[in-house]
Structure 1
Amino acid sequence: MNTILVIGGSRYFGKSLVTKARDAGHEVTLLNRGSGAPPSGVGHLVADRDDEEALRAALGARTFDTVIDQVCYTPRQAAIARRVFAGRTGRYVMTSTMEVYDPATLPAPTAGRRPVPVTEDSLDPLRAQAARGSGPAFEYADGKRRAEAVFLRDPVFPYVSVRAAHVLGGGRADFTGRLAHYVERIAAGAPIDVHEAPYETSFIHHTEIAELLYWAAGQSFTGPVNAASHGSLDVMGLSGLVAERVGRRPRHRVVGDGAEASPFSFDRAYAMDNGRASALGFDFGRVTDWLPEAITEAMAEAAAVRTA
């Protein structure tokens, strides 16, 4: 039995992660700001992770075999965690994101050729040049990238960053509403806004990312791993699968350069290679195997909202 601390983890795939670790017989503790109670059999600590003194007070003298950090979004949060958990844990797993592969930080693809899915070696957060941008999406990506750099610089414990693809599935639990966007618009005959030549992107099921985080907590490797189901899709393929379940043909409307498109329509490279995690022993599923059921869940949720 191991002692595991999960920071965050009170909603979506974080809840699945906590219960999976508990059911496997580990001593699990959840730390959050009191926003959600843990499931039965799981310990609970309340603290604001941005308040270093309060975090230390909540932890007391506790130590953990593994810390799984679900909600590290900024380099400041990473720096606090690095100081607080130095000497308290034998392993630190941070939930990161595919968004760290900002095109501005990557080499341009060969002229006339579509780029291949990015590997972990495509980005070294310690050497990444400062990206320029604005808005919530940029701030999220840049914050995650710089948080990874904090943990990697002069590491004080074995560290893993799990760069998660777009997480789907779970019906009501999926608070992002991105898959529901396609279900609702296609069912209503409304157009889906897409780029003229959209690129493929990567996805992962919400239970699969929970399983991968749990798996990563028990391994000995360090560094980044890409977390994506086998097989990538562009927005046309995604809307086509939704249309098959909904029973109505999709309508696509091409947007101009620089205009906002629907979720998962990208005018730049946005797919990841999952080869490292696979080689280390994690068995990924295929997007096309689990996506139909995820679409059905979104359809059921949309129907429940209409009849409420």
Structure 2
Amino acid sequence: MKLLVLGGTHHVGRALVESALDRGDDVATLNRGLSRPPAPGVQALIADRTDTAEVSAALGPGEWDAVVDTWAWAPRVVHDSARLLAGRAGHYGYISSRGVHRWPWPPGADEHAPLVDGDPGSEDGADYAAAKRGGELAVTEVFAERALLARAGMILGPYEDVGRIPWWLRRLEKGGRVLAPGPADTPLQYIDAMDLAAWMLTAAENGVGGTFTATGRPGATTIGELLETILEVTGFDAELVWAPPEVLEEEGFALGMEFGLRYPHDPAPTGIHDADVTAALAAGLTCRPLRQTLADTWAWLQAEGDPPPRPDAPAPDTWLDPAAEQRVLARLDNKEPR
């Protein structure tokens, strides 16, 4: 395909570019050109997405078989891009989020669960859920059945800049006794960015449109399996000490929230890790083994170092302060009075 990636430098965008190049696609990216140099063979179009005139000039007379957009802020930006590309692209894929569903998410929710309100012309990107929903409406207004909305679950894998797996890799690398958010058999549902990218590209090539919950199978893994597999893949000398959620709640720790395992005053939210992904699987989504995701993430982190933190992501010390960790470990050992 002749592909245009709006973004293309971070996490899913970078995965899209690499997957497309591996497929032999003719790839162009459009971004500000500030984060990373373009990969060899990529046509780099430079523009500030918020400036419609700049975007129009950068696009020039170009035409593409497919466009994939990762934008997560003001929906108006998506709307303007979609309108500029309406007659010049055959397919528009938009990386959305399960966050567009109204909280609390019902157990086993699929694409038809209640949605938050969104405005495709809004300049406000502060509310992530509303912004993504507005982006969905912007794309479908212009591209209709030629639009693919991928409502992603928790996205892991190489290039992750939110600080989930990279944080855990660095913590476990230090070794020793490590506080872990129990219980260990708590289910996790996620998707590797590379799998999401590969599916988006195949769907674009096949002209697949519509709305899909795009994440892994429910029940495929647990928090215990994830952290134990990190130890197996890396060989780190660390011991996981599982803390009950009520202890973490009492201590005021955010540990576990990085994976959506719990939230304040709601230690076991429903609907986070049991989404119905029947539609996406039927449309060709496949997911690689957990071990491969973790090994690839560790290889990337070793090769490139820790990614710069995203301005909208929690600070690295949010999940667990080292001194506080030792205090809770002592409490769990009954060495410190409650």
Note the alpha carbon deviations across 1:116-135, whole angstroms, 9 max, x for none: 3x322224x5xx457xxxxx
2:30 aligns to what SS in structure 1? Answer: strand
Partner of 1:112: none
CA distance in 1, matches of 2:145, 2:86: 7
CA 33–226 in structure 1, closer or farther in 2 if over 3 Å, else same: same
Alignment of 1:79-228 (within 5 A): 79-104=79-104, 106-107=105-106, 115-116=107-108, 118-123=109-114, 125=115, 128-129=116-117, 139-153=127-141, 155=143, 158-170=146-158, 173-186=159-172, 187-193=175-181, 200-228=187-215
Contact 1:69 1:92 in 2 (8 A): yes
1:22 aligns to what SS in structure 2? Answer: helix
2:93 aligns to what SS in structure 1? Answer: strand
Contact 1:72 1:94 in 2 (8 A): no
Contact 1:160 1:224 in 2 (8 A): yes
* 1:219 Cα offset (Å): 2.1
CA 64–177 in structure 1, closer or farther in 2 if over 3 Å, else same: same
* 1:169 Cα offset (Å): 2.8
Name the structure, 1 or 2, with higher relative contact order (CA <8 Å, separation 6+): 1
Structure 1 residue ranges without an equivalent (≥5): 108-114, 131-136
CA distance in 2, matches of 1:295, 1:189: 23
Note the alpha carbon deviations across 1:222-252, whole angstroms, 9 max, x for none: 1222222334444344334445553433123
* 1:46 Cα offset (Å): 0.6
Contact 2:78 2:135 in 1 (8 A): yes
* 1:259 Cα offset (Å): 6.0
CA 298–11 in structure 1, closer or farther in 2 if over 3 Å, else same: closer
CA distance in 2, matches of 1:22, 1:301: 20
- For residue 280 of structure 1, the aligned residue among 265, 280, 283 is 283
Q: Does 1:239 align with 2:227?
A: yes
Q: Does 1:261 align with 2:270?
A: no
* 1:92 Cα offset (Å): 0.2
Contact 1:229 1:285 in 2 (8 A): no
Contact 2:184 2:224 in 1 (8 A): no
CA distance in 2, matches of 1:59, 1:226: 30
- Amino acid corresponding to residue 110 of structure 2 in structure 1: T
Contact 1:183 1:298 in 2 (8 A): no
Partner of 1:251: 241
Partner of 1:29: 28
Partner of 1:45: 45
Partner of 1:110: none
Moved over 6 A (4+): none
CA distance in 2, matches of 1:69, 1:236: 34
CA 294–19 in structure 1, closer or farther in 2 if over 3 Å, else same: closer
CA distance in 1, matches of 2:65, 2:300: 37
CA 295–241 in structure 1, closer or farther in 2 if over 3 Å, else same: farther
Using the aligned pairs only, state the percent identity: 26
Contact 1:5 1:29 in 2 (8 A): yes
1:148 aligns to what SS in structure 2? Answer: helix
Structure 2 residue ranges without an equivalent (≥5): 119-124, 263-267, 307-338
CA distance in 2, matches of 1:65, 1:139: 32
Contact 1:47 1:55 in 2 (8 A): yes
Partner of 2:318: none
CA distance in 1, matches of 2:98, 2:204: 19
CA 148–141 in structure 1, closer or farther in 2 if over 3 Å, else same: same
2:239 aligns to what SS in structure 1? Answer: coil
Note the alpha carbon deviations across 1:48-76, whole angstroms, 9 max, x for none: 11111111111122221111112243322
Contact 1:82 1:156 in 2 (8 A): no
